């Protein structure tokens, strides 16, 4: 049977390094508070008029394509995962397609927040397994810094997030298909969601809800019956346009779902925690990763974290961490690699692969 494997991986982070002390100059925060609560020391911010979510995704894609040995005209499908797209529409998939000079293949946009890369990987995996595509380019990229609240009101959120991109090229390999077999490629993916607390980690505007779903945020009745309901004066005055996070509720849910979805992946493949060479968790918060590591009794060398340098880059965090781990020689041929994510929605997911 066909299996998908990562044939090439790349990353791009903007050159602009922003330390915790830099943030302390614009809001009431401190290096100590941020490091103690999140593990983050610095993050990268996109350079205005130079970096966008698309351009960063494309930079990462060029590296991944070169490492996979494929040219633009070899790519037969594009998937782009982001929650911070260049435009409200069209999505970054077609913008990246244009920038790479690729014509008329399909381009799909995915917006599953922190789980976006694994959701995208799972979609690509299905297309490869069925034989539909042979070279899928998957990009995950975020430009959070253009849309965060850098006043004291938004400091619990803004100190966490950073900008960057990762990309992979997926290709088919032949496998004997038996669960837990030594053959390489993606062994399984596991996707979950629970919308019952959707607003706990959200950016609800600009949205077309107007008075629905979040009754306590119902805007004043508009003056006119049609139009103008999207970005109202009141919306801007209330500054209700930034990400919101109930951090403690997110923390409580994340530390349950991370281990759960990793164990689910292992069970589906008749494998044990001790079989894992490296877990690459979504870089949400170092404390969340450490809790997951503790619960699963994983050794330090079995978990890769780089949130210290890049902050939380949402969909891009897993491919950035995976790329960096691979570049540092921590991901080797035939290693068992487990990707795991949890984030807004809530959505959570895992992918198990033999590198």
Residues with catalytic roles:
114, 282, 312
Nearest approach in angstroms of CB 53 to ligand ACO is 17
Asked if 70 touches ligand ACO (CB under 6 A), the answer is: no
Q: Which stretch binds ligand ACO (CB under 6 A): 49-57, 155-163, 259-267, 293-301?
A: 155-163
Closer CB to ligand ACO, 151 or 270, in the complex: 151
Selected from 159, 186, 316, 351, the binder of ligand ACO by CB under 6 A is 159
Residues 300-319 that bind ligand ACO (CB under 6 A): 312
Asked if 164 touches ligand ACO (CB under 6 A), the answer is: no
Asked if 160 touches ligand ACO (CB under 6 A), the answer is: yes
What is the signed CA dihedral for 144, 150, 153, 157, rounded to 10 degrees?
30
Closer CB to ligand ACO, 5 or 309, in the complex: 309
- The CA-based angle 240-245-251, given to 5 degrees, is 175
Nearest approach in angstroms of CB 152 to ligand ACO is 8
Closer CB to ligand ACO, 175 or 306, in the complex: 306
Q: What is the C-alpha R_g of the chain?
A: 20
* Nearest residue to 29 (alpha-carbon basis) of 193, 140, 149: 149
| Residue showing tokens 């949205």 | 207
Asked if 84 touches ligand ACO (CB under 6 A), the answer is: no
Asked if 114 touches ligand ACO (CB under 6 A), the answer is: yes
Nearest approach in angstroms of CB 244 to ligand ACO is 11
Q: How many CB atoms lie within 10 A of CB 181?
A: 13
Residues 27-46 that bind ligand ACO (CB under 6 A): 29, 33, 37-38
Residues 199-258 that bind ligand ACO (CB under 6 A): 201, 247-248, 250-251, 254
CA 152 to chain centre: 26
Nearest approach in angstroms of CB 247 to ligand ACO is 2
Return the beta strands (E) in 13-131 as ranges: 16-19, 42-45, 77-81, 106-110
d(CA 149, CA 61): 30
Nearest approach in angstroms of CB 341 to ligand ACO is 8
Please count the helices (runs of H) and the strands (runs of E) in the chain.
Answer: 11, 13
Cα–Cα distances in Å, from 208 out to 144, 233, 251, 260? 21, 15, 29, 34
Nearest approach in angstroms of CB 144 to ligand ACO is 10
Tell me, what DSSP letter sits at residue 313?
-
Cα–Cα distances in Å, from 85 out to 16, 23, 70, 103? 20, 24, 26, 21
Closer CB to ligand ACO, 13 or 78, in the complex: 13
Which residues in this chain contact ligand ACO in the complex, by CB under 6 A?
A: 29, 33, 37-38, 114, 155-156, 159-160, 201, 247-248, 250-251, 254, 284-285, 287, 312, 342-343
């Amino acid at each position: 049977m066909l299996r998908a494997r990562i044939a090439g991986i790349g990353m791009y982070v903007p050159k602009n390094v922003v330390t915790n002390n830099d943030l302390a100059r614009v809001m009431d925060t401190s290096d100590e508070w941020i490091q103690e609560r999140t593990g983050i020391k610095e993050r990268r911010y996109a350079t205005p008029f130079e970096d966008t979510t698309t351009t960063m995704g494309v930079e990462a894609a060029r590296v991944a394509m070169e490492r996979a040995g494929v040219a633009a005209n070899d790519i037969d499908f594009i998937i782009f995962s982001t929650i911070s797209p260049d435009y409200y529409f069209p999505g970054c998939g077609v913008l990246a397609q244009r920038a790479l000079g690729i014509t008329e293949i399909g381009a799909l946009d995915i917006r599953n927040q922190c789980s976006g890369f694994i959701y995208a990987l799972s979609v690509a995996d299905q297309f490869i397994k069925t034989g539909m595509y042979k070279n899928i380019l998957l990009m995950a990229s975020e430009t959070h810094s253009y849309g965060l609240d850098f006043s004291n009101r938004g400091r619990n959120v803004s100190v966490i997030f950073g900008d960057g991109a990762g990309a992979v090229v997926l290709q088919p390999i032949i496998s004997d298909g038996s669960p837990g077999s030594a053959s390489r490629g993606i062994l399984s993916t596991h996707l979950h969601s629970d919308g019952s607390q959707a607003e706990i980690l959200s950016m609800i505007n600009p949205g077309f809800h107007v008075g629905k779903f979040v009754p306590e945020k119902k805007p004043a009745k508009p003056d006119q019956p049609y139009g103008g309901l999207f970005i109202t004066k009141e919306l801007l005055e209330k500054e209700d346009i930034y990400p919101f996070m109930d951090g403690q509720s997110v923390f409580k849910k994340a530390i349950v779902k991370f281990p759960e979805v990793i164990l689910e992946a292992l069970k589906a493949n008749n494998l044990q925690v001790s079989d894992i060479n490296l877990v690459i968790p979504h870089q949400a918060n170092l404390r969340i990763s450490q809790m997951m590591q503790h619960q699963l009794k994983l050794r330090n060398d079995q978990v890769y974290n780089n949130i210290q340098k890049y902050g939380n880059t949402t969909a891009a965090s897993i491919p950035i961490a995976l790329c960096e781990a691979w570049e540092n020689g921590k991901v080797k041929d035939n290693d068992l690699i487990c990707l795991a994510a949890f984030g807004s929605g809530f959505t959570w997911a895992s992918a198990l692969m033999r590198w």
